[in-house]
A and B are shown apart, each in its own frame.
Chain A
Amino acid sequence: MNRDDEAFIETTRLSKVYVVGEVEVTALRNVTLSVARGRLVGVTGASGSGKSTLMNLLGGLDTPSSGSIRVADRQISELSKRDLALYRRNTVGMIFQSFNLVNAYTALENVAFPLLFAGVAKRQRCDRAVELLNAVGLEARKDHRPTELSGGEQQRVAIARALVNEPQILLADEPTGNLDSGTSRQIVEILAELNRRRGLTIVMISHEQDLLREFAHEMIALQDGIVVVRKATADPN
């Protein structure tokens, strides 16, 4: 078997149950899936289908109620809080629908932000952030704050921030949710380009199935916390 075909991300009977008051809400139910290294996987589903929960679990922001998550031969579901933080820092980059940039910081400071926790020196942080802003076409906007940037620009800053620690996996939670169709396409194209050129493994949630199908290697559909469809698309490359 080719190394690229091996499961890089693998979940086994993954479940997540939230307790709201006295009511238990099952967000994910026995989800078993695998993603090979260097693939771009699209995840679709209606609101409340468990997409974001899956993303939070894969990103190490949340812990499963049962089942396991294995990423790059590491059992993520068994990591301590501190190791989960290191996993988020070194292995995963995350992009969110609402960008989640710090409004008090400039674009440059936002991109360099994760390097702060990695203990990188200020000069190197700046150099690396400028390099990435240049890569997403925003070098001229490096001193602007998020409120002075358009939605598409903010999402590109978020992409640059997600890449700054050179992660192995990029998790994008509806990155086009707050963008117009033209800008959405630009963002998805940037992510697809990263997947193609850098071999970055990407899991991307989106409601825009057609756009996603155009670039993804594989599509997963969730419904009520269960994987209902899983199929490969025509090879986008």
Chain B
Amino acid sequence: MRISDYIEQACANLWRKKLRTFLTTSGVVIGIGALVCMFAFGQGIQRNITDQFNKLDLFNYVNVVARNSGGGLSSHDPDDPGAEMDNADVPPGQAKQDQPTLDARFLEEVTAIKGVIAAFPEMRFPAQIRLGDREEFTLVQVLSATASQSGLVPLRAGVAYVSDEPNELIISGLFLRRLGVKEPEMAIGREIEVATLTLDFSLGRLFRMAFPTGDQTLPLARESYRFKVVGVAQRMGFGGSMPVRSDVYIPPGAAARMHKLALTSIWDFFKPAGQAADYSMVSVKVASPKDVELVKKELESRGYRTFALMDQLQEMRTGFLIMDMFLIAVGMIGITVASLGIVNTMVMSILERYREIGIMKAVGATDGDVQRIFLFESGAIGLLGGLFGLFLAGVTSFVINEVINAFMARQGAPRMAYFNFPWWLCLGAVAFSILVSLLAGIYPTRRAARVDPVVALRHD
């Protein structure tokens, strides 16, 4: 028999039983649709994360902390014998004399390392941000004009500040909404009040501390500065360790003029005086991800602790794989049910056409011919199910994507494609659908091939 005849026979036989073919194929369509949708969602999430990291050059960063730094990356780890040795002969709360520090000199030294493009410290301080009659608390990040213009902070409106000196700031769209501004463009050019905390050892304050009356007793005062909004930042799509993560960015010159307590946690109170002047962390930007390992080694040899997202990439990939496997497992439930439907349909078809099989054999069909005729029918169900399943997945994912984006837009998040349909997924889905259908057809078609023509020709 010719291949074209098998195809024609399969189509004609399926067309003869339209309703049954429609119902069976619908099962495959739903199964494949669900599987593809879930897998495309997993792919979309992976693509968005890696794209965003790539877009923000996050794989090009190495975060550096001093070994005796109070928190974050260098927090005490009882399983790290190195950490114990580092601090073995140092009294608690006191840095070793020869411990490397993160200061202005370090910034100069690190930029001299081959492959390093820039280095900037993480400097953040708590502040009250007031716009009109609304006031919100946040941590303000100091970011150089060079860094702000590098695209590190993607903007929804306005521009990055061009100098390190003026009282200008970039604010996130989400934070603006908390301050009552829904349209980012409306905020450009407006003045915002940034209020910091300072120590207040005036007599009046000391008196109130000595004789507390129920209100504030700490020796703290508030100082206000006026800043002009020049840019509105997009919301960072995903979390993780990033070199910048704040709602408000100001240039270093303006920050230097402000009186403020640079406390980000209660532990900052217990830092030694000298160390308090250092940076808690420095972000080092390298030319390409290939330089990350070399720069890390160099810095670690100088006694610093480092962290790079590149290190996490393999773990992320493992995580993605587990997520994919989970989504596939859920999607396979539908496919399993659909394949049972195919088995049922094929068995029914063979029982109905029992006499026809006898006639086929009487006029010269081999067992293989009979088996292939039914296998092509089974495969045709798979092909149709795969194609329409792909279409269903496309429509469903489009609707879900629109709903998520509509919801996320209200949160100030940028528009994203949460589903990804790479060509291999589309082809693979159709091929998988055909494969599953063929596997489901093996038992019924073998049964058809084994039909005794003498018995079948007597069958009513």
Contact = CB atoms under 8 A, between A and B. Distances in A.
Asked whether A and B interact, the reply is yes
Interface of A: 56, 59, 61-62, 81-82, 85-86, 88-90, 94, 96, 100-102, 104, 113-114, 116-119, 121-122, 161, 165
Contacts of B356: 102, 104
Contact of A81 (B9, B358, B367): B367
Q: Which interface residue of A82, A90, A100, A118 has the most chain B CB atoms within 10 A? A: A100
B365 interface: yes
Contacts of B9: 116
A29 to B, nearest CB: 19
B5 A122 contact: yes
Contacts of A90: 364
A117 B369 contact: yes
Given A100-B457, A117-B369, A122-B5, A61 B364 contact: no
Nearest to A99: B359
Given A56-B454, A100-B355, A119-B1, A86 B364 contact: yes
B454 A116 contact: no
B365 A117 contact: yes
Interface string B1-40: 1101100110000001000000000000000000000000
A68 B8 CA distance: 40
Interface string B346-360: 000000000110111
6 contacts: A90-B364, A100-B355, A116-B1, A117-B360, A117-B363, A165-B363
A85 B2 contact: no
A85 B364 contact: yes
B453 interface: yes
B367 to A, nearest CB: 6
A27 to B, nearest CB: 11
A114 to B, nearest CB: 4
Given A94-B362, A117-B369, A118-B364, 7 more contacts: A56-B454, A81-B367, A82-B368, A85-B364, A86-B364, A113-B359, A116-B1
Contacts of B453: 61
Nearest to B363: A114
A195 B279 CA distance: 109
B361 interface: yes
Contact of A89 (B5, B8, B364, B367): B364
Contacts of B359: 100-102, 113
B364 A165 contact: yes
Given A61-B361, A100-B355, A100-B358, A82 B2 contact: no
A104 B2 CA distance: 21
B1 A161 contact: no
B364 A114 contact: yes
Contacts of A100: 355, 358-359, 362, 457
